[in-house]
Amino acid sequence: MQLSFQNDRVLAVVAHPDDAELLCAGTLARARPDGAVIAICVLCRGDKGQPSKKVANLTDLRRKEMAASAKLVGAELFTGDFPDGTLMDTPRARSKVIEIYRKFNPTLVLAHAAEDYHPDHRAASLIAEAASWFCASRGHRTRSPAIQTPPALWWMDTVNMSGFNPGFYVDISQHVGLKKKMLACHQSQLARGNDTDFSPLEEMMRLQYRARGMQAGVEAAEAFRAHFAFKRGRAW
Amino acid sequence: MQLSFQNDRVLAVVAHPDDAELLCAGTLARARPDGAVIAICVLCRGDKGQPSKKVANLTDLRRKEMAASAKLVGAELFTGDFPDGTLMDTPRARSKVIEIYRKFNPTLVLAHAAEDYHPDHRAASLIAEAASWFCASRGHRTRSPAIQTPPALWWMDTVNMSGFNPGFYVDISQHVGLKKKMLACHQSQLARGNDTDFSPLEEMMRLQYRARGMQAGVEAAEAFRAHFAFKRGRAW
Amino acid sequence: MQLSFQNDRVLAVVAHPDDAELLCAGTLARARPDGAVIAICVLCRGDKGQPSKKVANLTDLRRKEMAASAKLVGAELFTGDFPDGTLMDTPRARSKVIEIYRKFNPTLVLAHAAEDYHPDHRAASLIAEAASWFCASRGHRTRSPAIQTPPALWWMDTVNMSGFNPGFYVDISQHVGLKKKMLACHQSQLARGNDTDFSPLEEMMRLQYRARGMQAGVEAAEAFRAHFAFKRGRAW
Amino acid sequence: MQLSFQNDRVLAVVAHPDDAELLCAGTLARARPDGAVIAICVLCRGDKGQPSKKVANLTDLRRKEMAASAKLVGAELFTGDFPDGTLMDTPRARSKVIEIYRKFNPTLVLAHAAEDYHPDHRAASLIAEAASWFCASRGHRTRSPAIQTPPALWWMDTVNMSGFNPGFYVDISQHVGLKKKMLACHQSQLARGNDTDFSPLEEMMRLQYRARGMQAGVEAAEAFRAHFAFKRGRAW
Amino acid sequence: MQLSFQNDRVLAVVAHPDDAELLCAGTLARARPDGAVIAICVLCRGDKGQPSKKVANLTDLRRKEMAASAKLVGAELFTGDFPDGTLMDTPRARSKVIEIYRKFNPTLVLAHAAEDYHPDHRAASLIAEAASWFCASRGHRTRSPAIQTPPALWWMDTVNMSGFNPGFYVDISQHVGLKKKMLACHQSQLARGNDTDFSPLEEMMRLQYRARGMQAGVEAAEAFRAHFAFKRGRAW
Amino acid sequence: MQLSFQNDRVLAVVAHPDDAELLCAGTLARARPDGAVIAICVLCRGDKGQPSKKVANLTDLRRKEMAASAKLVGAELFTGDFPDGTLMDTPRARSKVIEIYRKFNPTLVLAHAAEDYHPDHRAASLIAEAASWFCASRGHRTRSPAIQTPPALWWMDTVNMSGFNPGFYVDISQHVGLKKKMLACHQSQLARGNDTDFSPLEEMMRLQYRARGMQAGVEAAEAFRAHFAFKRGRAW
User: What tens digit of pLDDT does each residue of C37-81 get?
Assistant: 999 999 999 999 888 888 889 999 999 999 999 999 999 999 999
The average pLDDT across C197-204 equals 86
Per DSSP bridges, beta strands C37-44 and C76-82 are parallel
Contacts 24+ apart (CB under 8 A), F209-212: F209/F26, F209/F172, F209/F176, F209/F179, F210/A207, F211/A161, F211/A207, F211/A208, F211/A211, F211/F161, F212/E235, F212/F157, F212/F161, F212/F166, F212/F169
pLDDT at A187 > cutoff 90: yes
Q: What is the pLDDT of residues E164-188, one digit of tens each?
A: 999 999 999 999 999 999 999 999 9
Q: What is the value of ipTM here, to two decimals?
A: 0.95
pLDDT at A194 > cutoff 80: no
Q: What are phi and psi of D185, to 5 degrees?
A: -65, -25
In 3-state terms, what secondary structure has residue E80? strand
Chain-chain contact of F85 with B228 (C-beta, under 8 angstroms): no
In 3-state terms, what secondary structure has residue E113? coil
Closest residue in A to C160 (Cα) is A230
Q: What angle do CA D53, D59, D65 make, to 5 degrees?
A: 85
**Do residues A47 and A115 make contact, with C-beta atoms less than 8 angstroms apart?**
no
| pLDDT the model gives residue E192 | 86
Nearest to A218 by CA among B149, B4, B223: B149
pLDDT at E2 > cutoff 90: yes
Taking the C-alpha atoms of E49, E54, E55 and E59 in order, what is their torsion angle to the nearest 10 degrees?
A: 30
Tally of CA atoms within 13 A in the half-sphere of B209 that contains its CB = 26
Rg (CA), chain D: 17
Q: How far apart (Å, rounded) are the C-alpha atoms in residues B184 and B190? A: 8
In 3-state terms, what secondary structure has residue D48? coil
Q: What is the pLDDT of residues B87-136, one digit of tens each?
A: 999 999 999 999 999 999 999 999 999 999 999 999 999 999 999 999 99
Q: How far apart (Å, rounded) are the C-alpha atoms in residues A48 and E137? A: 8
Q: What is the pLDDT of residues C201-225, one digit of tens each?
A: 999 999 999 999 999 999 999 999 9
**B203 Cα to chain F: minimum distance (Å):** 35
**E3 Cα to chain F: minimum distance (Å):** 4
Sheet hosting strand A9-14, strand order edge to edge: A76-82, A37-44, A9-14, A108-112, A152-156, A221-226, A168-171
Tally of CA atoms within 13 A in the half-sphere of D12 that contains its CB = 33
| pLDDT the model gives residue D3 | 96
**Do residues C8 and C36 make contact, with C-beta atoms less than 8 angstroms apart?**
yes
The neighbours of chain C, by the rule of 3 or more Cβ pairs under 8 Å, are A, B, D, E
Q: Centre a 10 Å sphere on the Cβ of residue F16 and count the other Cβ atoms it contains.
A: 26
Across the A/F interface, how many CB contacts are shorter than 8 Å?
Answer: 26
The average pLDDT across C21-32 equals 98
Across chain E, what does the average pLDDT equal?
Answer: 96
* DSSP code, position E139: T
pLDDT at B42 > cutoff 80: yes
**Do residues B172 and B226 make contact, with C-beta atoms less than 8 angstroms apart?**
no
Q: How far apart (Å, rounded) are the C-alpha atoms in residues C209 and C24? A: 10
This prediction's pTM:
0.97
The average pLDDT across C119-145 equals 97
**Residue type (1 letter), A2:** Q
Nearest to F85 by CA among F118, F126, F53, F59: F118
Res. E231 pLDDT band, cuts 50 70 90 = very high
Most distant CA pair in chain A, distance: 49
| pLDDT the model gives residue E27 | 98
pLDDT at F197 > cutoff 80: no
Between residues E10 and E194, which one has the greater pLDDT? E10
Res. C11 pLDDT band, cuts 50 70 90 = very high
Assess whether chains F and E touch, using the rule of 3 or more C-beta pairs within 8 angstroms: yes
Q: Is the dihedral of CA F64, F66, F69, F71 positive or negative?
A: negative
| Interface probe with A: pick from E138, E140, E165, most Cβ of A within 10 Å | E138
Q: Centre a 10 Å sphere on the Cβ of residue E225 and count the other Cβ atoms it contains.
A: 18
Cα C122 to the chain's mean position, in Å?
12
Res. D192 pLDDT band, cuts 50 70 90 = confident
- Partner residue facing E197 (CB), from C129, C138, C233: C138
Q: Which residues of C touch D10 (CB under 8 A)?
A: none
Q: How far apart (Å, rounded) are the C-alpha atoms in residues E136 and E124? A: 19
Chain-chain contact of B211 with C211 (C-beta, under 8 angstroms): yes
**Residue type (1 letter), D176:** V
- Partner residue facing A117 (CB), from E89, E91, E229: E229
Chain-chain contact of C139 with E85 (C-beta, under 8 angstroms): yes
Q: How far apart (Å, rounded) are the C-alpha atoms in residues F226 and E165? A: 12
Q: Mean pLDDT lowest for which of A26-40, B134-148, F43-57?
A: F43-57
Chain-chain contact of D50 with F140 (C-beta, under 8 angstroms): no
Chain-chain contact of C207 with B207 (C-beta, under 8 angstroms): yes
Q: Is the dihedral of CA A7, A93, C49, B221 positive or negative?
A: positive
Chain-chain contact of F162 with B229 (C-beta, under 8 angstroms): yes
The helix or strand, by DSSP H or E, that contains position D30, with its residue range, turns out to be: helix D25-34
Q: Mean pLDDT lowest for which of B222-226, D24-28, D182-186, F136-140?
A: F136-140
Chain-chain contact of F231 with E213 (C-beta, under 8 angstroms): no
Q: Which residues of B touch A215 (CB under 8 A)?
A: 228, 233
pLDDT at A196 > cutoff 80: no
C-alpha to C-alpha distances, C109 to B212, C18, C134, D9, E125, nearest whole angstrom: 29, 17, 14, 31, 25
Closest residue in F to B127 (Cα) is F119
Q: How far apart (Å, rounded) are the C-alpha atoms in residues E179 and E32? A: 13
| pLDDT the model gives residue B53 | 85
pLDDT at C135 > cutoff 90: yes
Chain-chain contact of D136 with B197 (C-beta, under 8 angstroms): yes
Nearest to A183 by CA among A5, A8, A20, A39: A20
- Partner residue facing E215 (CB), from F213, F217, F228: F228
Taking the C-alpha atoms of A26, A30, A31 and A35 in order, what is their torsion angle to the nearest 10 degrees?
A: 150
**Residue type (1 letter), B181:** K
**A98 Cα to chain C: minimum distance (Å):** 12
**Do residues B215 and A228 make contact, with C-beta atoms less than 8 angstroms apart?**
yes
**Do residues F70 and F106 make contact, with C-beta atoms less than 8 angstroms apart?**
no
Chain-chain contact of D5 with C4 (C-beta, under 8 angstroms): no
Closest residue in D to F89 (Cα) is D88
| pLDDT the model gives residue A108 | 98
| pLDDT the model gives residue D115 | 96
DSSP H stretches of helix in F139-185: 176-184
pLDDT at F206 > cutoff 90: yes
Give residues with Cβ within 8 angstroms of D99, minimum separation 6. D142, D143, D144
Give residues with Cβ within 8 angstroms of C72, minimum separation 6. C178, C181, C182, C185
| pLDDT the model gives residue E152 | 98
Between residues A96 and B196, which one has the greater pLDDT? A96
Beta bridge partners of B65: none
pLDDT at C192 > cutoff 90: no
Q: What is the pLDDT of residues A109-140, one digit of tens each?
A: 999 999 999 999 999 999 999 999 999 999 99
Across chain D, what does the average pLDDT equal?
Answer: 96
| pLDDT the model gives residue C28 | 98
C-alpha to C-alpha distances, E214 to C226, D159, D213, nearest whole angstrom: 26, 10, 17
- Partner residue facing F138 (CB), from D118, D163, D197: D197
| pLDDT the model gives residue D144 | 98
Q: Interface of chain B against chain F, CB under 8 Å? A: 89-91, 94, 126, 129-130, 133-134, 136-140, 146, 148-149, 228-233
pLDDT at A195 > cutoff 80: no
Res. F10 pLDDT band, cuts 50 70 90 = very high
| Interface probe with B: pick from F48, F117, F118, most Cβ of B within 10 Å | F117
Taking the C-alpha atoms of E80, E85, E90 and E92 in order, what is their torsion angle to the nearest 10 degrees?
A: -30
* Percentage of residues of chain D with pLDDT beyond 70: 100
pLDDT at D196 > cutoff 80: no
pLDDT at B196 > cutoff 90: no
Q: What is the pLDDT of residues D34-61, one digit of tens each?
A: 999 999 999 999 999 888 888 889 999 9
pLDDT at E198 > cutoff 80: no
Q: Is the dihedral of CA F122, F127, F130, F131 positive or negative?
A: negative
In 3-state terms, what secondary structure has residue D88? coil
Q: Interface of chain F against chain B, CB under 8 Å? A: 47-50, 84-86, 88, 116-119, 158-160, 162-163, 196-197, 199
Across the D/F interface, how many CB contacts are shorter than 8 Å?
Answer: 52
The neighbours of chain A, by the rule of 3 or more Cβ pairs under 8 Å, are B, C, E, F
| pLDDT the model gives residue E89 | 98
| pLDDT the model gives residue E54 | 87
Assess whether chains D and A touch, using the rule of 3 or more C-beta pairs within 8 angstroms: no
Q: How far apart (Å, rounded) are the C-alpha atoms in residues A234 and A152? A: 6
Q: How far apart (Å, rounded) are the C-alpha atoms in residues B199 and B208? A: 14
Closest residue in F to D47 (Cα) is F139
pLDDT at B194 > cutoff 80: no
pLDDT at B195 > cutoff 80: no
**A165 Cα to chain F: minimum distance (Å):** 7
Q: Centre a 10 Å sphere on the Cβ of residue D201 and count the other Cβ atoms it contains.
A: 19
Across chain B, what does the average pLDDT equal?
Answer: 96
**Do residues D166 and C228 make contact, with C-beta atoms less than 8 angstroms apart?**
yes
The helix or strand, by DSSP H or E, that contains position E189, with its residue range, turns out to be: helix E187-190
